[in-house]
Amino acid sequence: MTFRKYICLFFGLLLYTVSTNGQVGYTIDLRNQSFEDLSRCCKPPRGWYPCGKEDLNTPDVQPGHFNVDLQAFEGNTYLGMVTRDNDSWESVSQRLNRSLKRGECYTFNLKASYENNLISQSRITNKDVKYNKPIKIRIWGGTGYCHKAELLDESPLIDHTFWKQYNFRFEPRKSHSFITIEAFYKTPTLVPYNGNVLIDDASAITIIACNDEEEPLVVDVEQPKEKLIVEATPPPVNISPGTTTKPKQSEVQKPAKEEKVDEILEVKKKDLKKGQVLRIENLYFQADSSKINQKSYAELDKIYSFLNSNPEISIEVGGHTNGNCETKFCNELSEKRAQAVAYYLIGKGISSKRLKYRGYGKNKPLASNSTSSGRKKNQRVEIKILSLDG
């Protein structure tokens, strides 16, 4: 390459740098901003680095674990982090593709929520406890993974069980090539406590004019259209928004044509036997999740109608997965899906005394897991007749 070409290349790169870096509106994209990955506990989403010791900092890809069932705001999964009663907390970090510079100003936002029924083990008592106290999000800048050189901004306590947008503003006093998102306690606090925060749909980091008017810190956002139907405890049904009391029995919707419900499951009561297993068809969940798709409601309502018309029958709801998952994950997912079906029926009015649920994981395949059709058959929910006489 000639000297003249070197000069042209140098000034070309310089011009590009001046025209982008430092320009208002220039964005610094993060990897995996919506925290997409396979739903799993104890590992962060791809593109994000876990901070701290492995046994003390194990962020999760939610939903589907520890009673977390909130629908993702964007995509299928999101990040879940906790604080603990043993004075440990979780955070994730990532290298930026362009450093935050001293003298520049930035905006950044994400969606956040929390789960009021998250249950995990206390690191002090080793017993299952609720991690249900609100905590906050802190954003750090640094020069390495998990390096917390400067607190760039922090949120108020996140105490709502639906998504809201949190807007952050950075005015760094030094340059930072890494960012860390941290879950942290209310401050000041004298006693560490068990809390959680859920994070989804992070934005790019955008350069702004330092004299720009600040955005509201918290903004209400439209929730995902497909709502959850499964709560951590059996939900009441047919309740108007804002109502906390259970409807009168006369107000509960009755199944259509109850005189024919014995045939809804394609089997008559006189043909049923204790221990008989019936597969639920047309039952769909979100991928790697216990969230029931709305198009499954009609099938579940048939089961409700059958049980409502035959109050002496008790059943077990059994969940099964295919073989394409680790044993622990398969067991957890299958149990969560069985639980979701059971809670749906309880929410419709079936007594919990007539229902049991169990996850069998991948232990009882119906077909080979080497084919798509076989895996589809294996991933199922079944009803087992436990009793025909109450």
In terms of residue numbers, what domain contains 39?
24-220
In a domain, 298, yes or no: yes
259 and 316 in a single domain? The answer is yes
User: Using one digit for the tens of pLDDT, what is the confidence trace for 139-156?
Assistant: 999 999 999 999 999 999
Residue 325: pLDDT over 90:
no
Q: What was the pLDDT predicted at 17?
A: 42
Q: What was the pLDDT predicted at 181?
A: 98
Strand order in the sheet with 355-359: 277-279, 380-387, 314-320, 355-359
Specify the CATH number for the domain of residue 179. Answer: 2.60.120.260
In a domain, 114, yes or no: yes
- Give the pair of three-digit tokens for residue 388: 């025909």
Cβ atoms of residues 161 and 67 within 8 Å: no
CA dihedral defined by 123, 126, 130, 133, rounded to 10 degrees? -20
Cβ atoms of residues 296 and 319 within 8 Å: no
215 and 259 in a single domain? The answer is no
66 and 119 in a single domain? The answer is yes
In a domain, 242, yes or no: no
195 and 262 in a single domain? The answer is no
Residue 38: pLDDT over 80:
yes
Q: Is 216 exposed, middle or buried (0-12, 13-18, 19+ CB in 10 A)?
A: exposed
204 and 67 in a single domain? The answer is yes
How far does CA 385 lie from the centroid of its chain? 32
In a domain, 10, yes or no: no
Residue 257: pLDDT over 60:
no
HEC secondary structure over 312-376: CCEEEEEEECCCCCCHHHHHHHHHHHHHHHHHHHHHHCCCHHHEEEEECCCCCCCCCCCCHHHHH
Report the 10 Å Cβ neighbour count for 225: 7
202 and 260 in a single domain? The answer is no
The band of 19, judged by pLDDT with boundaries at 50, 70 and 90, is very low
In a domain, 247, yes or no: no
Domain count, the chain: 2
Closest CA to 100 of 42, 51, 168: 168
**Bridge partners for 385 per DSSP:** 315
182 and 97 in a single domain? The answer is yes
**Bridge partners for 336 per DSSP:** none
38 or 112, higher pLDDT: 112
In a domain, 240, yes or no: no
272 and 182 in a single domain? The answer is no
- Give the Cα separation of 56 and 123 in Å (integer): 9
Cis preceding-peptide flag for 216 (omega within 30 of 0) = no
215 and 345 in a single domain? The answer is no
Q: Is 278 exposed, middle or buried (0-12, 13-18, 19+ CB in 10 A)?
A: middle
> Which stretch of DSSP H or E encloses residue 10?
helix 3-20
29 and 142 in a single domain? The answer is yes
Give the amino acid at 191.
V
In a domain, 19, yes or no: no
188 and 263 in a single domain? The answer is no
Give the amino acid at 61.
V
User: Using one digit for the tens of pLDDT, what is the confidence trace for 105-137?
Assistant: 999 999 999 999 999 989 889 899 999 999 999
30 or 2, higher pLDDT: 30
User: Using one digit for the tens of pLDDT, what is the confidence trace for 160-212?
Assistant: 999 999 999 999 999 999 999 999 999 888 899 999 999 999 999 999 999 88
Cβ atoms of residues 109 and 165 within 8 Å: yes
Q: What was the pLDDT predicted at 294?
A: 78
Mean pLDDT of 217-235: 61
- Give the Cα separation of 318 and 383 in Å (integer): 6
**Bridge partners for 79 per DSSP:** 61, 199
Specify the CATH number for the domain of residue 296. Answer: 3.30.1330.60
In a domain, 175, yes or no: yes
- Give the pair of three-digit tokens for residue 240: 């108007």
Report the 10 Å Cβ neighbour count for 103: 11
Q: Which of 173, 198, 220 is the last residue of a domain?
A: 220
203 and 259 in a single domain? The answer is no
The band of 16, judged by pLDDT with boundaries at 50, 70 and 90, is very low
Q: Which of 193, 220, 247 is the last residue of a domain?
A: 220
Report the 10 Å Cβ neighbour count for 74: 16
